Amino acid sequence: MVVQDASTDLFSEQSGIHGLGVFTRKPIPKGAFVIQCQGILRHKDEVVEGMRALQIGPETYLAEDPENPRLDDYINHSCDPNVGFVEGSPKLFAIRDIRPNEELFWDYRTSINEAGWQVQCTCGAANCRGKIQSYCDLPGDEQERLRGIVLEYLR
């Protein structure tokens, strides 16, 4: 399944990282708004293994609507992201210039804040850490480095 949004130059296709990914047809300059993350509000107890969900508060997630998947549901993680939550809201902005046909990536550590949570990372970036951890489990200097691209509830 390929998800597209006719109002943008973003589209999904197979990713070299994991499953479907989101790509751009046109260049996106640093600082530009890229995509609004949306979904169904869910309490953390309603989020189950395998559900695409973005933590937006201590106990609140935006979960994929299985009847209406959106492009933001398919943005993969990278330890070297090109988009981030610059305003602190669930809107992703380019944090560097993005080339045409480049896959979009955000750092999942900039939203998840469940103590002890971690998964193996296979992003393949030169600076890949080999695992994705919860923001609260990161050393203070790493939290500070990411502060400009994390969601508001983590700032």
Asked whether residue 82 is assigned to any structural domain, the reply reads yes
H or E segment to which residue 116 belongs = none
pLDDT digit of tens for each residue in the chain (155 aa)?
Answer: 445 554 469 999 999 888 899 999 999 999 999 999 999 999 999 999 889 999 999 999 999 998 888 999 999 999 999 999 999 999 999 999 999 999 999 999 999 999 999 999 999 999 999 999 999 999 999 999 999 999 999 99
How many other C-beta atoms are found inside a 10 Å radius of the C-beta of residue 57? 16
Asked whether residue 65 is assigned to any structural domain, the reply reads yes
The whole-model pTM stands at 0.92
Asked whether residue 104 is assigned to any structural domain, the reply reads yes
Q: Which residues pair with 83 in a beta bridge?
A: 94
Asked whether residue 107 is assigned to any structural domain, the reply reads yes
CA-nearest of 152, 136, 3 to 91 is 152
For residues 88 and 148, the answer to whether their CB atoms sit within 8 Å is: no
Which CATH number covers residue 71? 2.170.270.10
Asked whether residue 2 is assigned to any structural domain, the reply reads no
Give residue 100's domain range: 10-150
Asked whether residue 145 is assigned to any structural domain, the reply reads yes
Count of structural domains, the chain: 1
